[in-house]
Structure 1
Amino acid sequence: MRATPSFLDFYLPAPLRPFAFASLHSVERFLDIMRWQHLPLGGLVASSVAVNLYVSSYVGNITTLSLCQDANGNYSLTAISANNGSSPSPTWLEKDKYNGIIYGLDEGLTTPNGSITAYKTSASGELTQIDQHVTLGGPVSSIVYNGGKGIALAHYGGSALSSWTILQSGGLTLLQNFQFTLSAPGTDPDRQDAPHPHEALVDPTDQFIVVPDLGADYIRVFSIDPQTSVLTERTSFSTPPGSGPRHGAFFVNPNNNNTTYFFLVTELGNTVSSYEVSYDVKNNLGFTEVSTSGIYGNKSTPIGAAAAEGILSPDNKYFLTSCRNDSTFTIPNFDPTNSTSIQSDSLQSWEIDPRTGKLAFVQLAPAGGSFPRQFSVSKDGTLAAVGMQESARVVIVERDVEDGRFGRFVAEVDVPGEVTSVIWDE
C-alpha cells in the first residue's frame, strides 16, 4: 500500500505553497527541475472515499482494486479480489451502463479463438461469471449499443467485427460475424498485412457503430437496426495510407448546433485528428477533417513511439490520449526504498475548441511507467487510472478539470502480468 504526497509539500517552504500551484501546472516542466518523492502511506484515518476498479492482464486475471481516500486526503490503492482461470489472456473490460454487467474479452493469444464473458459485480469487488461464449479470434474492444440491447466486438487478430444480443439476464447470444480482407498489404506491411479492427464505438445518436481499422486504414461504418440490433455495413472512410487508425471518441458540440465531431488516434502515424461528422440520406456517416497534429503537439515524435488510447473527458472539454514506447520522462521510483529512477511513457491532453471542434495541444505528462495501453477517468474527471502494460502496474493520476492537465501520482499498485485494461465501477 503506497501513496504519493504532494511534491509542493517537499520542495517549497510552507509560506510559499499557497502561491505555487498556479505556476506549476505542467508536470513535465516541474520534473525537469525538481524530483518528487514517493513515501508510504500511514494508517487510514477514516475512509471518506472508496471505489472499486477492475483490471485485466495477460496473466489471466481480472483483478479488483479498491481506491480509498482517508480523512487527510491521502489515497491508497489495494488489490482486494482476483478472478482467474476463465480467461487466459484478458484484453478489454466494458461495464454496461444499462444493466451493470461487466463484459470481459479474451484475446485468445494461445488459441485460435477468443471469448467474451459476462460478470455480475458486487460491492465487495467479487465478480461472478454468468455467461461465456467462444468468439472469432483476437477481440480487443467492445461497445454496448442500441439502448443496451446489443454489444459489438472489434477483433484485431481475427480481422472481424461481431455483434451479440444482450439478454435480460445479462447473458449473450451471437447475432452476426463480419470478416474483412485486404487485396494486398498496406503501406506498413508488417502491421498492415490484414485488416486489424482495433476498437468499436457507438455514435451519439446510437444509430451507427464505427470501427477504426489499423490494418486497412479505414474507419468502418455500420448502421444499427433499432428493432433487432442487426448491423449493416456501409461505405468505409479512408484515413491517410499507413496511418493505422486505432482509437477514438465522439463529441457533440452544443455551442455549434449540436454538430458532431469524431476524434481519432492513429497508432502508426502517431497523429491526433478531429473530423466533423455528417449524417447523410444514404444512412451513412461522412467525415470532414478539421485538424490534425502529431500526438506530441509541437514536439517531434520519438522513434518507436506507438500512440494508444483516446478518450473524452467527462465534461466534454478535453480529449485525452496516451503513447507507448517513448520513454519521454524519467521519474522517481514508486518504491520508497529504491532510489533508482524509472522511465515513463506519456499521456497527452487536448483542449476542444467549443466553436469549431478543433483540438489544441495542452500538455505532455508522464504516465507512470511503460506502455500506457489503456486508461480511464473517474466520473467527476479528477482522477485517471492508467494501466501500464509492461510495468505491470496501475497508477492513479490527478487531473485538473479546469485546465485539463494531468498532475501528481496519488496512488499505485503492482498487478501481475501485462495490464491491458482498467475501468472504474462508479
Structure 2
Amino acid sequence: MRFHALRNITATTCVVATVAECTVLHVASYSGNVTTFDLKRNDKGIYSLATLGVTNGSAPQASWLELDAKKKTVYGLDEAWSTPNGTITVYSNKKNVLEISKKYTTLAGAVSTIVYNGGKALAVAHYGAQALTTWSIAANDGALSNIGNFIFSTPPGPVPQQDKSHPHEALVDPTDSYILVPDLGSDLLRTFAINAADSKLRELTPFKVPAGSGPRHGSFYTPACKPGPGKCLAANKENTYFFLVSELANTVSSYKVTYGKDGLGFTLVSSSGIYGNVSTPTGAAAAEGILSPDNKFFHTTGRNAPFLTTPNPDSANTTALASDAIQTWAIDAATGKLTFQGSYPAGGVTPRQFSINAKGDMAAVGLQTTGRLVILKRDIASGAFGAVLASVEGLGGVTTSIWDEGNPRYAPLA
C-alpha cells in the first residue's frame, strides 16, 4: 500500500495528543482483504490515513460490507466468481479492528446485503446466482441461520449484458416492512413483504422499469427521515420516493412510492441521464446512488468514462490522473424531483461504491480500477465534492468503503 495525505504529513495514531479528530473506515477489495483505516486530522487541519488492521483472505472476492452499528458487527460478502458457493463473514469490532467471528456458506455471486426487521435478519442479493437469500440474526452473538432462498428465472432484458436475472442490491423501505431488489438482468424492481414475527419474506408482483435500462442501486427517500431502514415513516407513508440508478441506460430516476394492500407501487416523477449536462460517454456504466446525511441531495457515480482529472498523489509528479465522475442531484422535497447540480472528479477510475460520513463533509470513495481509496472534501451546503484530503494506493480492486461512526439509520430529522 502507498499512503498519501495533504502535504504528505506522516500518519499518527488516534491516541496521540496532537490529533484533533479521527474516524474509522472499513474497506473491502477484490484482492481478498478487508482493511480498517484510521482517518485523522491533526491540529493543523491536515488529514492522513493509517492502517489499523488487515483481515487477509477472509473473502477471496470481497464485494460488500454492511455495518450493524448496534451490535458492533460488520457483515462481509465474498462474490465467489469461480466457485459454486460464496460466503458471508461476520466480523466483530474489537477496538475498531475487525476480527472474523463466524463464516457461512451461501450461494455464489453475493454483491449486497442489508439488515432488516429491526436487526433480526439479513437479506443478501446474489448477482451471479440469480437469487436473494435471507438469514436470521441471533440476538446474543450475531450468528446467522438461513431462513429462505429465492431463485429467479424471469426472462432477461434485451441488452447483451442481460443474459439472465442479476439481482444487484437489497434495500429496506423506510417502514421496515418491505425488501426491494433491483434486478439488473430482468429490468425489475423485485418486492418482498417482511413477516415481522419470523423475518421471512413473501414475494410480491415486481415492478417493471424500462426495457434494457438495467436497474442497479437506489435509495428510498422521505423528507422527514435520515437515510436508512427503520420505522420512522410508519405514519407518513404517503410521502415516500425511490431514487433508482440504472447501469445500462446510465440514468437516475425518481419514483413516487405508494403503499397498498398488494405491496408497493411506483410512479415515475423524473428521469435524467446520469451525466447531467454532458452527453453519456460511450461505454459508461452507472454504479452507485446514495442520499446525503442531511437528506437534501442524492449522489451518484459513473464508471468507465474518465473524462475528468484528479491531482497525482505523487507530489513530485504534476501529471494529472484520469478520473470518473461523482454527481450531485438536488432533491425537491415537495415533489421528489431530482435536479442535476454538477459532476466532480471521483479521485480515480471505477468508483463502484462510496459513502459519506455522518457530518456530511467528507466522502470515502473506493476506486476499483485505480485500486485506491480516496477521502474527498464535500461541501454540506451545496453537495459539491472537492479536493482529495487523503488517499491510499495499492489496495487492489476496491469494492466497498464504509464509515464506522455508529450513527443510526433512518433517525427522525431534528
TM-score normalized by the length of structure 1: 0.89
Question: For residue 260 of structure 2, what is the aligned residue in structure 1?
Answer: 280
Larger radius of gyration: 1
1:387 aligns with 2:389: no
SS at 2:118's partner residue?
Answer: helix
Deviations 1:60-83 (A, max 9, x none): 100111100001111001222100
CA contact (8 A) 1:365 1:406 kept: yes
1:270 aligns with 2:260: no
CA contact (8 A) 1:152 1:200 kept: yes
1:180 aligns with 2:143: no
Question: For residue 41 of structure 1, what is the aligned residue in structure 2?
Answer: 9
Q: Following the alignment from structure 1 to structure 2, what is the Cα–Cα distance between the partners of residues 323 and 43?
A: 31
Which amino acid is the alignment partner of residue 271 of structure 1? Answer: T
* Residue 43 to residue 263, structure 1, CA distance change in 2 (3 Å): closer
Q: Following the alignment from structure 1 to structure 2, what is the Cα–Cα distance between the partners of residues 276 and 98?
A: 31
Q: Following the alignment from structure 2 to structure 1, what is the Cα–Cα distance between the partners of residues 403 and 32?
A: 19
1:370 aligns with 2:349: yes
CA contact (8 A) 2:238 2:258 kept: no
1:358 aligns with 2:326: no
Which amino acid is the alignment partner of residue 338 of structure 1? Answer: N
Question: For residue 231 of structure 2, what is the aligned residue in structure 1?
Answer: none
1:165 aligns with 2:144: no
Question: For residue 3 of structure 1, what is the aligned residue in structure 2?
Answer: 5
Question: For residue 26 of structure 1, what is the aligned residue in structure 2?
Answer: none
CA contact (8 A) 2:131 2:149 kept: yes
Question: For residue 199 of structure 2, what is the aligned residue in structure 1?
Answer: 229
Which amino acid is the alignment partner of residue 60 of structure 2? Answer: P
SS at 1:108's partner residue?
Answer: coil
Which amino acid is the alignment partner of residue 146 of structure 1? Answer: N
- The structural deviation recorded for 1:339 is 2.9
1:310 aligns with 2:282: no
Deviations 1:337-376 (A, max 9, x none): 2233210001000000011110000110000001000000
Q: Give 1:277-356 correspondences, 5 Å limit.
A: 277-282=257-262, 284-356=263-335
Which amino acid is the alignment partner of residue 369 of structure 1? Answer: G
Match of 2:43 among 46, 60, 71: 71
SS at 1:253's partner residue?
Answer: coil
- The structural deviation recorded for 1:258 is 5.7
SS at 1:227's partner residue?
Answer: coil
Q: Following the alignment from structure 1 to structure 2, what is the Cα–Cα distance between the partners of residues 313 and 226?
A: 29
Q: Following the alignment from structure 2 to structure 1, what is the Cα–Cα distance between the partners of residues 157 and 281?
A: 23
- The structural deviation recorded for 1:47 is 0.5
Which amino acid is the alignment partner of residue 176 of structure 1? Answer: G
Question: For residue 424 of structure 1, what is the aligned residue in structure 2?
Answer: 403
Range with bigger deviation, 80-89 or 313-322? 80-89
Match of 1:213 among 171, 179, 183: 183
- The structural deviation recorded for 1:271 is 0.2
Indicate the percent of aligned positions where both proteins have the same amino acid.
52
SS at 1:147's partner residue?
Answer: coil
Question: For residue 124 of structure 2, what is the aligned residue in structure 1?
Answer: 153
SS at 1:129's partner residue?
Answer: strand
- The structural deviation recorded for 1:336 is 0.9
Deviations 1:73-129 (A, max 9, x none): 110012221001221111000001331210000001131111101011122x32121
Question: For residue 131 of structure 1, what is the aligned residue in structure 2?
Answer: 102
Q: Following the alignment from structure 2 to structure 1, what is the Cα–Cα distance between the partners of residues 28 and 203?
A: 31
Match of 1:86 among 37, 58, 69: 58
CA contact (8 A) 1:252 1:258 kept: no
Range with bigger deviation, 97-106 or 364-373? 97-106
Q: Following the alignment from structure 2 to structure 1, what is the Cα–Cα distance between the partners of residues 11 and 246?
A: 44
Which amino acid is the alignment partner of residue 55 of structure 1? Answer: V
Q: Following the alignment from structure 1 to structure 2, what is the Cα–Cα distance between the partners of residues 55 and 353?
A: 33
Question: For residue 220 of structure 2, what is the aligned residue in structure 1?
Answer: 250
Question: For residue 233 of structure 2, what is the aligned residue in structure 1?
Answer: none
- The structural deviation recorded for 1:153 is 0.2
Range with bigger deviation, 81-90 or 365-374? 81-90
CA contact (8 A) 1:145 1:206 kept: yes
Deviations 1:179-210 (A, max 9, x none): 00134x42112x11100000000000000000
SS at 2:266's partner residue?
Answer: strand
- The structural deviation recorded for 1:55 is 0.6
Deviations 1:118-162 (A, max 9, x none): 011122x32121111111110000000000000000000000000
- The structural deviation recorded for 1:43 is 7.1
1:239 aligns with 2:221: no
RMSD: 1.5
Q: Which runs of 5+ in 1 are unaligned?
A: 5-38
Q: Following the alignment from structure 1 to structure 2, what is the Cα–Cα distance between the partners of residues 83 and 415?
A: 16
Question: For residue 259 of structure 1, what is the aligned residue in structure 2?
Answer: 239
Q: Give 1:10-21 correspondences, 5 Å limit.
A: none
Q: Following the alignment from structure 1 to structure 2, what is the Cα–Cα distance between the partners of residues 391 and 286?
A: 39
Which amino acid is the alignment partner of residue 328 of structure 2? Answer: S
CA contact (8 A) 1:62 1:84 kept: yes
SS at 1:402's partner residue?
Answer: coil
Question: For residue 393 of structure 2, what is the aligned residue in structure 1?
Answer: 414
CA contact (8 A) 1:327 1:345 kept: yes
Question: For residue 28 of structure 1, what is the aligned residue in structure 2?
Answer: none
SS at 1:110's partner residue?
Answer: coil
CA contact (8 A) 1:77 1:413 kept: yes
* Residue 136 to residue 257, structure 1, CA distance change in 2 (3 Å): closer
